[in-house]
Every structure is written in structure tokens, then in C-alpha cells.
Amino acid sequence: MKKYYILFLLWVSGCNQIAHETTNEYKIQAQVWTQNAAEYRALCYQAFNAAKFNLDAFLFFEKKYEKPLAIIADVDETVLDNSPYDGKLILDNISYNRKSWVEWGNLEKAEAIPGSLEFLKYASGKGIEIFYISNRYSEQLQGTVNNLKKIGFPNAVNSNVLLRSESRSKSERRKLVFDNYQVIMLIGDNLADFNDEFEEKLSEERTNYTDNLRNEFGTKLIVLPNPNYGDWESNGIFEGKSLNDYQKDSVRRTKINSY
């Protein structure tokens, strides 16, 4: 009996170890969809078509402003496609980490999100200043500028690319632009790219606030699809809590609606 008890403990220990190891299996479907689905590209084109339509409408009815006009765009998964980085995390079965993320950015190999380059060049041609506000780290500034410039994005200069310093919050960086420009549109894959409220609200509050702003989406706020990562997980289903992989998997399962 003692022998079987010891074997049972070893089995339980092994199961716990496996459960707490990094596993990226849950990310595969989202990653394959992002990199292969024509529907993903269609949604991106749809977002930037809406942006162009509303920019033209705004300029047609433009009134006089004391400040020059500007558009604020996020970088990652909004204008630059980092899916190869996520792909490597999956295939190597490792978690996101600062070192590998910075290394990927320094390769300056990210390609443009479908429709993003054409729209921002069009807006720039209309005299709109483009600002890129990203939570990339400060040491990634030159690599980010170089990557944007290689592809041909307008205003790809250090002064127009505002990266994070200490805080992840984009509110202060947005304020710098709002203080000097009339911002007519914000573009991002994460709702926190748009205003302070989305940076603070958790879980159902995010959903309720989104419903309140329903008329802003597709007009002033342009959203790109990103099923791979974002605040929809961290501040949404995980409610801002720090969880290990096993706990995250458990939470994901509780969020599935069935009958």
C-alpha cells in the first residue's frame, strides 16, 4: 500500500509540474487565424476604409481650428505586424519577455498591417500630422522609427513616435499631442489606445463603457482585430489579477458560454 501511495504522490507532483509549465497551445488557433485568414485581412481593410470615409467626411465639413489636425495611431498590431514574434513564442513554447521582444523589434522586420500604410499616407497627404503612441520600451525607439521608415509610414521620426518610459499608461503621451493638435481620430487594437477610462476599467466595466461609446467606433475610434493578446485578457477576463498559466487556463474556461 505504501508503494502505491508514493507512486500516487509522484503522479500528482508530475501533473502539477506539467500544469504550471509554460504552454502556448491556447494561442495556436488565434495565431493561425491572424496569419492565414483572408477574413483577418478583410477586417483590417474594413477598419481603414472606415477611417478614410470618416476622414473625408470630416475634411468636407471641416470648420476652422486654431490647432493643426492630427491622427494618433498605436504601433503593434495596428500599423506593424508582430505575429512572427508570437509565432516564435508558440513554436519555442516560451512566454513573452522583454529581452526577446526587444530583440525582435531591433530586427526591424515587422511588416505593415493590411491597409494601414495606404491610409496613413493618404491622411498625411491631406495635411494631417501622424503620431505613433506605443508601449514599446524606450530602448526600442530607433528600431521602431527605422522599421516604420523602411516601410514608408509618414512622420516616422523620433519626435512623432512616443514610447513608454516608466508607466504603461498612454494618457500623458496622448495629452502632449492633444495640447498642440486637434486630434480627429485614434487608431488601435486595444481599447486603452483611446482614452484614460479604458486604461482603468476592468471586466464588465470595460464592456459597459464600450456600449456607451458605440457611436464612436468606426468614426473617431478605429479598432483593429487582435485575438492574440491585449487588455481584453489582462483587464478583461483576468480582471487585472496576476495569475500563473494554470490559473489563466482555468479562468478562460469559466468565460466560455454554453447551454
Quick: pLDDT tens for 208-240: 999 999 999 999 999 999 999 999 999 999 999
Question: 156 versus 166: which is more confidently predicted?
Answer: 156
d(CA 245, CA 231): 16
Q: What percent of the chain has pLDDT over 90?
A: 85
Give me the DSSP letters along 25-94: GGGHHHHHHHHH-HHHHHHHHHHHHHHHHHHHHHHHT----SS-EEEEE--BTTTEE-HHHHHHHHHHT-
Please state the CATH superfamily assignment of the domain spanning residues 25-227 in this structure.
HAD superfamily/HAD-like (3.40.50.1000)
Give the pLDDT score at 249.
93
Q: What percent of the chain has pLDDT over 70?
A: 92
Give the pLDDT score at 87.
97
Q: What number is the average pLDDT over the span 47-61? A: 96
Give the pLDDT score at 31.
97
φ/ψ (deg, to 5) at 162: -105, 105
Q: What number is the average pLDDT over the span 175-194? A: 97
Q: What number is the average pLDDT over the span 150-156? A: 98
User: Would you place residue 9 in the very low, low, confident or very high pLDDT band (cuts 50, 70, 90)?
Assistant: very low
User: Would you place residue 7 in the very low, low, confident or very high pLDDT band (cuts 50, 70, 90)?
Assistant: very low
Q: How far is CA 184 from CA 14, 52, 177, 222, in A?
A: 55, 12, 11, 11
d(CA 68, CA 19): 54
Sheet (strand 161-162) strand order: 161-162, 129-133, 69-73, 182-188, 221-223
φ/ψ (deg, to 5) at 137: -75, 155
**Three cell numbers written together for 21:** 509549465
13, pLDDT greater than 70: no
Question: Mean pLDDT for the chain?
Answer: 92
Quick: pLDDT tens for 91-113: 999 999 999 999 999 999 999 99
81, pLDDT greater than 70: yes
Measured torsion, CA atoms of residues 104, 51, 195, 114, in degrees rounded to the nearest 10? -10
**Three cell numbers written together for 6:** 508514493
Which amino acid belongs to residue 175? K
Model pTM score: 0.90
d(CA 163, CA 138): 6
Give the pLDDT score at 5.
43
C-alpha distance across the termini of the chain, in Å: 43
Residue 7: which residues within 8 A CB-CB, separation 6 or more? none
Give the pLDDT score at 18.
47
Give the pLDDT score at 86.
97
φ/ψ (deg, to 5) at 235: -95, -10
Q: What number is the average pLDDT over the span 191-207? A: 93
